[in-house]
Amino acid sequence: MDRANKPKTLPKLSSTPGLPPQPTVNFTDDNSRLRAELPTGESVEVLLYGATVISWKDATGDEKLWLSEAAKLDGSRAVFGTAPDHPQTKDLPQHGFARTSRWEFLGKSTSESMVGRAADEPTVKLDFGLSSAAPGLDPKAAAHWPFKFNLIYSVTLNRESLTTSIVATNDDGATPFDCQVLMHTYLRVKKSPASPTRPTPTKSARRPLPPKPNPPPPSTLTITGETDRVYTPTEDAVTVAENSQPRFRVTRDNLANVVVWNPWAAKAEAMADFAPDDGFRNMLCVEPGAVGGWQAVEAGDAFEGAQTITLLH
C-alpha cells in the first residue's frame, strides 16, 4: 500500500481565484511523518509509524499534547508504551500491531470539500490505512495474526478541536475476530497533573483486564499518585481540568471506556522511554477506548469508534 514516490507537499484541492486559503499538508524529507496546518495557524503532526499523532498546536503555537523526550520516532518501538490469556492476540506486540506498523497516507479532505458544520470553518481531515496486505505491516503481526483486515484511521483538525476515528473491517470471509481499541492521547498540562472530571461511572477497574471490582469513583478524580484505571462512564464527555480550570473536553463515540493513566514519580523514573523523569507533572492520559472486553467483529462487518478533544477557554 505504501507509495515510493509521494510528493513532499500535497497541492491544494482547488486553485480557483477568490477562494479563501486552504489547509496544507507537508511530508518530511524522509517521508516518516506529515504535518497539516490550517490557514489560521493550527497544526497537527502525524508519524506514519503507528499513525501516531505526536503534535497538536493552536494558532499561537502552543502545544496541546505531551511527547516523551526519549520517544523513539524511527519505527524501532511504539511511541506510547499483550494479552497473554487471549488466544488470538497472545503472540502480538505489546499494545497491538497497529502501533508498530507503518501506515499509508491515503489523502486529505478540507472544508472546501466537506458538508455541514465542517464546511463553515477551516478543517483538514487526514486518512491513513493499514491492511493485512500492506507492506508496512509489523512482521510479527503478519506471522501471528492470520485474519484478513482493513483499518482506516482518520485525524480531523479544526480551530477548536482534534478528532481521531478508526474503522476496523473484517475481510476474512467466514471467520470472526476479536479486537480492542484505545486512543492513546497524552494531554499536556501545566505545573501539575490535571483532574479529569466526568459523570459518575457505572464501573471502574484497574488494568490489566479482567479487573477486580472497584467501587465507582467520585465525579471528580484528582491525580495525586500513580494512576492506571479503566472507567465506564454513563455519559460521553469527560472534562480535564488544569489547576481547577477546565482545559479539555474529551467526547467518545461508540467507545465505552476511558483509561486514565499517570505513572507518577517512581514508575516514570523506571521507564526507559519516559523523559524527563518529572514529565509526569505535565501530562495526563485520558484515553477513550473499547477495552472493557473484546469486540467481536464478524466476517464482512466493521467496528467503528472515535474521540473528539475540544479546547476549553
Q: Go through 160-189 and write b for each residue having 16 or more CB atoms within 10 A of its CB, e for each that does not.
A: ebbbbbbebbbebeeeebbbbbbbbbbbbb
| Of 30-34, 241-245, 256-260, the least confident | 241-245
Position with higher pLDDT, 243 vs 107? 107
| Architecture of the 9-311 domain | Distorted Sandwich (2.70)
> Is residue 217 packed enough to be buried (19+ CB in 10 Å), middle (13-18) or exposed (0-12)?
middle
Distance of CA 285 to the CA centre of its chain: 11
C-alpha cell at 104: 499509508
Determine contact, residues 123/111, Cβ cutoff 8 Å.
Answer: yes
Give the pLDDT confidence score for residue 213 in this predicted structure: 39
Q: Give the DSSP per-residue string, 118-158.
A: GGGS-EEEEEEEEETT-TTS-HHHHHH--S-EEEEEEEEEE
Question: 12 pLDDT exceeds 60?
Answer: no
Number of residues that this document lists for the chain: 313
CA distance 25 to 192: 34
DSSP letter, residue 101: S
Active site residue 184: yes
Q: Summarize pLDDT for 169-224 with one digit per residue, the tens.
A: 999 878 899 888 999 889 999 765 656 655 444 444 444 444 443 434 457 888 88
Confidence band for 239, pLDDT divided at 50, 70 and 90: very high
CA distance 65 to 93: 25
Determine contact, residues 193/222, Cβ cutoff 8 Å.
Answer: no
Q: Which one of 37, 45, 184, 242 is the catalytic residue?
A: 184
Active site residue 287: yes
Nearest of 60, 62, 64, 30 to residue 47 by alpha carbon: 30
CA distance 198 to 196: 7
Q: Summarize pLDDT for 14-46 with one digit per residue, the tens.
A: 445 567 788 999 999 899 999 999 999 999 999
Give the pLDDT confidence score for residue 158 in this predicted structure: 95
Q: What is the mean pLDDT of residues 224-232?
A: 90
| Mean pLDDT score of the chain | 81
> Is residue 23 packed enough to be buried (19+ CB in 10 Å), middle (13-18) or exposed (0-12)?
buried
CA distance 79 to 295: 24
Q: Which one of 235, 287, 298, 304 is the catalytic residue?
A: 287
Nearest of 259, 56, 88 to residue 178 by alpha carbon: 88
Going from N- to C-terminal start, the domains of the chain cover 9-311
Q: What is the mean pLDDT of residues 143-147?
A: 81
Determine contact, residues 64/187, Cβ cutoff 8 Å.
Answer: yes
C-alpha cell at 258: 476511558
Q: Summarize pLDDT for 60-105 with one digit per residue, the tens.
A: 999 999 998 877 666 555 544 444 454 555 555 556 778 888 999 9
Confidence band for 139, pLDDT divided at 50, 70 and 90: confident
pTM, full prediction: 0.83
